[in-house]
Amino acid sequence: MIYKKSLNGPIDQGDILYPVRIKSHIPWWIDDSDYPVVILTPTCDIAQEKVEYHRIAILLPFPFFFLNTCNEILGEEIDFPNLSKNNKDKIRNKLDRAIRNAWPRYHFLPKEDVFTIDRIIDFEVIASLPIEIFSHNLKIAGLASPYNEELIHRYSHHTMRIGTDDIPKETVNKIIDDCFSLLSPSS
């Protein structure tokens, strides 16, 4: 079970709240729709009242991700009935990676019996909102263990990774060529 239904107690990490009117608090947000959000703020900071803002992840509708994926791959002229096998495979591959959480930027959450549609988090679209606004929102569920820990681990990994230089393409090619040369008979 991914979600826990316990709605008692104060807001905690992994709690899902809905509705949250994002644009009212984040001026750059796209529209003024209500979205469910999940609390990313560490439990210890919440318990010790160390925070004035909650860090949240917005649970975007997965169909939006699907349409954005199609638009990204196909451009503005999306002709679903006449998609080529190659384009269907590209879209399917991207969706498959997102749903299996095999893509570090995104985290998929199935609808189960909490939502009417599947949801996805984009770790590059995280916000901090004043804690006061959450008193007006309903806690609809929470992530059960170990799903809450997985979300926090994946979020931390995505945002806290160390940026290092890429190995130059020429070096990569030489290493691969050297491996293949081991397979060929020596002269």
Question: Residue 107's closest CA among 90, 124, 92, 91?
Answer: 124
Question: Residue 139's closest CA among 9, 26, 25?
Answer: 9
CA distance 181 to 186: 9
CA distance 147 to 154: 10
Alpha-carbon radius of gyration of the chain: 21
Residue found by looking up tokens 């006449």 in the block: 82
pLDDT in tens, the chain (187 residues): 899 987 778 889 999 998 887 766 666 666 667 789 999 999 999 889 899 999 999 999 999 888 888 888 877 667 777 788 888 898 899 999 999 999 999 999 999 999 999 999 999 888 888 888 887 668 899 999 999 999 999 999 888 777 778 888 999 889 988 888 888 766 4
- CATH number for the segment(s) 3-183: 2.30.30.110
Global pTM value: 0.79
User: Strands across the sheet with 119-122, in order?
Assistant: 60-61, 119-122, 106-109
